Amino acid sequence: MNDTMRNVTAAYPDTLGAAGLLTIDLGALAENYRLLSVKAAPARAAAVVKADAYGLGAEKVVPVLLAAGCRDFFVAHFSEALKLRPLISGDARLFVLNGLLPGDEETCADAGIIPVLNGMEQVARWKEEAAFRETTLPAALQFDTGMSRLGLSMDDARALAADPQGLEGIALEIIMSHLACADEQEHAANGAQLGVMQEAATLFPGVPVSFANSGGLFLTGDFKGALCRPGIALYGGNPSPDMENPMKPVVALDVAVVQTRSVPAGTAIGYGGTLVADKPMRLAVISAGYADGLPRSLSSRGAAYWNGIRLPIAGRVSMDSIILDITALPEGTLKLGDRVEIIGQHQTLEQIAADAGTISYEILTSLGARYRRVYRNALPVSA
Ligand SMILES: *Cc1c(COP(=O)(O)O)cnc(C)c1O
């Protein structure tokens, strides 16, 4: 093919046809892990890599965290653990927060994955597996300290601790619980849950405690235990919305303009005609919508940025596109193929989440499959 015959210069030659560019800074991820490790000390910092490392790609994220010194990884589903197991070996541990479904015990034990036992039935099944193998199997034991989600009730915990055969064949790696209100510094539930966890710790003396998530790491009080479990803070989310975000941003998102137009006053804009131009307006359509993780709740609420200038979302967010009000820009500024910022220097992940009426967790884990993902500051490839 003769390239000289074409007068095309792609600003991003490597996009594989994608209109959205999702940049993931693995250097910032490693930096965030180091920051959280310092914060956690003398406890250790694990990494929660569930939901494909909060949507960023667990297969890229895990090696970076291993290189940064992380040795404990948590996923939510057993299927995720099976997928990541080949990456996490040697002296590193891999825990399954949601525990095991009946029938998964054999595969779990074979793979050397550590289940979080959340109830007596799971304890019994894991003991059976250990007895069958005539060996001891590792496990984490979770208590419900006040969230009513996963974990043994305190009654079950007391009964289990009182039974000399209660944990026969099980080597408890950690005991753990999860905070319901860790993102609210002053919430009374934090202290109440801590009190219950401290009682649980006296029932299983000598077993390392794991309690704090990202938010818990920044609470005042004795929340750290021996092993903290940050997730969102690793990926640049603010662990504690009441303070300035101490984490480095990891994610940037830029989306291409696929059409611009000018409309006279009175023109209906987008599905349902929910917005009608009250003056002559200029519009740009960008090639990402709710199927790409930009929630429909951003309709006429959120914005994109161009060189620091706010470009409000005009009308409803569509499945594959969003209309922006670019009247603030001189005519001709934005052209076909130019990219506007959704997450980046001028708009944080937290801001877009707030505009959408949700949290950074939901935005990250919804990031669509249609973006071109670019991993920056990746580890040097070893020979
Ligand atoms: C998701 C999760 C975490 C991580 O929480 P972040 O708020 O993202 O730090 C820790 N522990 C448990 C049990 C979880 O489910």
Which pair of tokens denotes residue 141? 């034991």
Which pair of tokens denotes residue 218? 């920044």
Token look-up 């590193």 returns 92
Whose CA is closest to 294, among 17, 12, 15, 20? 20
Ligand 1 pocket: which of 175, 229, 245 to mutate (most atoms <8 Å of CB)?
229
DSSP string, 222-285: S---SEE---GGGGT--S-TTS---SPP-EEEEEEEEEEEEE-TT-EESGGG-EE-SS-EEEEE
Q: For residue 140, with 0-12 CB atoms within 10 Å meaning exposed, 13-18 middle and 19 or more buried, which class applies?
A: buried
Token look-up 């490790």 returns 37
The reply to whether 50 belongs to the active site is yes
Instruction: Output the CA 272–ligand 1 centroid distance in Å.
Output: 39
Q: What pLDDT does residue 383 have?
A: 41
- Angle formed by the axes of helices 26-40 and 58-67, nearest 10°: 50
**pTM for the whole thing?**
0.95
> Whole-angstrom distance between the N-terminal and C-terminal Cα of the chain?
35
* 170 alpha carbon, distance to own chain's centre: 31
Nearest-angstrom CA–CA distance, 360 and 363:
5
| Residue-by-residue pLDDT tens, the chain, 383 positions | 455 556 655 656 678 889 999 999 999 999 999 999 999 999 999 999 999 999 999 999 999 999 999 999 999 999 999 999 999 988 999 999 999 999 999 999 999 999 999 999 999 999 999 999 999 999 999 999 999 999 999 999 999 999 999 999 999 999 999 999 999 999 999 999 999 999 999 999 999 999 999 999 999 999 999 999 999 999 999 999 889 999 999 999 999 999 999 999 999 999 999 999 999 999 999 999 999 999 999 999 999 999 999 999 999 999 999 999 999 999 999 999 999 999 999 999 999 999 999 999 999 999 999 999 999 998 765 54
**Residue 127 CB–ligand 1 contact under 6 Å:** no
Q: Name the residue with the closest Cα to ligand 1, atom 12.
A: 178
